[in-house]
Structure 1
């Protein structure tokens, strides 16, 4: 099919960022895949034509749909797809849904929020995966991960082409309020404004990462080995594309995959097929854990495999909701994303929708994890997600610590096999959170967060104002010293409580406690006067020594390596 606006296709299937009708697809099915691609490519070219107005585009797309449904031989690409649909039972309905998205492209150039963008992707990307599933005779269980993968690919392409789409088509597929976080659309696209643009791009990539996590089960859910292989290659390329967009600025220059990326993706097919017999969900949560250097991760290494798997799920949940709270998405979007997690938690253990949810469901059933504690964590993340964080008084500080740290402790001791350590978990959680507050004073102030209660600061003559001015006040160190004394007392109380608890079961908690104790000692040795220097952390040798000392049995059971103060 040709048009006056686009006499030749703008691309062939070999020019796409991801494989189309590769040799992994069975030979008899490549022809209908190509027929589908060519029709959709032609329709997309109409929607993207710089030479046609909106009305002409809509008229042309309507004509294409009529030709598709009738099999009009005067429109070769429509006729070919019509014939493929009659033979294979797939293609026509999916292409019609794509035409609906292209009609939207003809008249819509900006998006109000992430949900609106996802709705567009539901029509502009997901039908491609659904077509392939129908073509291969796959069941409904593969649809959700296929949708997630197609949406992820679409958003990756949108982010890659942000500058090109805006310049050529006056279209921007990143929602307007997201660009406002970088100062507005003009500021977002200003080449020199990379520092403000980067957090917004990363927040969008966090959402893509969530989609790819949900897509990870696709190779195991399709019956066709060839389609499983194609899915595995596409997933690998999507992850590589995401990593490149994390590392490079698509406004400063084109970010694209190369031949080496494709070669590595295809080389991974045998290993991907070998994993089809087992769930990908544990690997998804382990991938999240593996990129963390937290003391929580250190403690998890001290567990037997089933309990470690449950704690990995808990940590992955904590990590993703923390990333939502800390990210640069608009506040309304953060709340929407956290609300989605509330719905996921409420669906457990019966109806999880994603890999973290499915792993949490296993843990909830195995270790009787209270749903309320997950909601407490989400409440804490809602507090952290605010544009400006201040803690008004002691009661609010205690509640905050209970939510973000106590809840993790309560859930963790149940997974450890020591539910009787509930009170210990609350004491230790509050103590470790105080250490976090002391460690992150300057980092938090950069994003307008001050966790030292305002009542304490007011007693020292420090009024609420810009966060960096507050923490630079010489009197702020005195407030930190009082918190440090509470942390010292907290460690001592936790030590005393351990004398009446099962140290062996609580071995992971002790590892975490001792890691934080060493960090706390380093903070006190440095002092709290500004300037405080870079963020304090344990070195790899310090972590190794910690594990050796804490893991060594003493007197027939686990003993903490440190003292009480």
Structure 2
């Protein structure tokens, strides 16, 4: 297929805008995306920009009604995208990836569904609702990502299921104070009840003496998902998808380190946000690269 010069210029301008968005966000995922070949990396940049813009709509809109309007506009844009029509820099940049990697519209719409849940301030959901939320805002992201990484197998979809949930539960356990300030509380109602937490006011829950026990139980669930995800990654590499597993391995190393620090801190002070320094991130990147090299030589 031959592209006209103005089409090429439009795509190049769109990619420039998308890359600027990614660089401005300083995402922990950026290092993982850098491991990809150019076409896949550009697709992931565009996908990240989409995720970022709908997340900002959910978080920063002054009212739920305005958030709903903004998200509805993106529903229409995504529907048009999967019919071959792009209208802004993000969808223009996404269009080649949608076609090349057989991406699924339902996954994009699920992400928007998750942003809608966020926009109305979730407070102490039951475990089923929490799992649905994690699927929409994290595992759906994983389902799109593994296709762009280069693994369309059922095993890769299972990886997205478990790793997405592990990452989102880690986010929840890390961002307790930040979420409470927004009127949100993602700790499940069943665990709050189990440990005798009566209040459902986010700030009150964070001051409850039983908070540590609630978080430990939720962390145990996250640990199970991490373990299952690790099994899926090893299986994918054994099936010849080593290159496709490099980005998720990098992300898993980063989130796993955060998760380990959270468990060590034991939620004694939920206002202290756990993070990694640049040197620590570099160390994890080198560690991941070395482990991939070892597995490759051992195979």
Normalising by structure 1, we get a TM-score of: 0.49
- Give the structure 2 partner of residue 470 of structure 1: 205
Is the Cα contact below 8 Å between 1:427 and 1:494 reproduced in 2? yes
Equivalent position SS for 2:226: helix
Q: For residue 336 of structure 1, what is the aligned residue in structure 2? A: 69
Distance 2:73 2:289 in 1: 39
8 Å CA contact 2:14, 2:92 repeated in 1 = yes
Which of 162, 170, 173 aligns to 1:438? It is 173
Question: In the alignment, is the contact (CA less than 8 A) between 2:123 and 2:200 conserved in 1?
Answer: no
**2:36 counterpart residue number:** 303
Distance in 1 separating the partners of 2:31 and 2:208: 35
Whole-angstrom distance in 2 between the partners of 1:558 and 1:462: 52
Distance (Å, rounded) in 2 between the aligned partners of 1:301 and 1:431? 22
What whole-Å deviation, never above 9, does each CA across 1:335-391 have from its counterpart, x for those lacking one? 0000000000000141111010111221110100000000000000001011x3224
CA contact (8 A) 2:135 2:165 kept: yes
In the alignment, structure 1 segments of 5+ residues that lack a partner are 1-219, 222-274, 560-565
Q: 1:548 aligned to 2:286?
A: yes
Q: 1:277 to 1:444 in 2, by over 3 A?
A: closer
Partner Cα separation in structure 2 for residue 540 and residue 489 of structure 1 = 28
Query: Cα offset for 1:558?
Result: 9.1
TM-score, normalised to structure 2, is 0.90
Deviation of residue 534 (structure 1)?
Answer: 2.7
Pick closer, same or farther for the CA change 1:328–1:346 going to 2, 3 Å. closer
| 1:395/1:558 CA distance change after superposition, 3 Å | farther
For residues 558 and 504 of structure 1, what CA distance do their matches in structure 2 show?
A: 14
Are the aligned partners of 2:123 and 2:186 in contact in 1 as well (CA < 8 Å)?
yes
Distance 1:328 1:469 in 2: 25
How do 1:16-415 residues align onto structure 2 when only pairs under 5 Å count? 279-349=12-82, 350-386=84-120, 388-415=121-148
Q: 1:463 to 1:503 in 2, by over 3 A?
A: farther
CA contact (8 A) 1:504 1:558 kept: no
SS in structure 1 of the partner of residue 235 of structure 2: coil
Structure-2 residue corresponding to 1:505: 244
CA distance in 2, matches of 1:340, 1:452: 30
Taking the aligned partners of 2:9 and 2:173, their CA distance within structure 1 comes to 46
Post-superposition CA distance 1:81-134 (Å, at most 9, x none): xxxxxxxxxxxxxxxxxxxxxxxxxxxxxxxxxxxxxxxxxxxxxxxxxxxxxx
Give the direction of change, closer, same or farther, for the CA distance of 1:558–1:332 in structure 2 (3 Å limit).
farther
Q: How far apart are 1:424 and its partner, in Å?
A: 0.9
Larger Cα Rg: Structure 1 or Structure 2?
1
Greater relative CO (CA pairs within 8 A, separation 6+): 2
For residues 416 and 513 of structure 1, the distance between their equivalents in structure 2, rounded to whole angstroms, comes to 15
Asked if structure 2 preserves the Cα contact closer than 8 Å seen for 1:295 and 1:516, the reply is no
Q: Does 1:453 pair with 2:188?
A: yes
> What is the aligned residue count?
285
Is this contact kept in 1: 2:124–2:188, CA < 8 A? yes
C-alpha distance in structure 1 between counterparts of 2:271 and 2:196, whole Å: 24
Per residue, is there more helix in 1 or in 2?
2
Name stretches of at least 5 consecutive residues in structure 2 with no aligned partner: none
- 1:374 and 1:407 in contact (8 A); partners too: yes
- Displacement of 1:278 in angstroms is 6.5
8 Å contact kept, 2:124–2:200: no
Instruction: Say which SS state the counterpart of residue 244 (structure 2) adopts.
Output: coil
Q: Deviations over 1:295-346 (max 9, x none)?
A: 2222111111110000001100000100111104221111000000000000
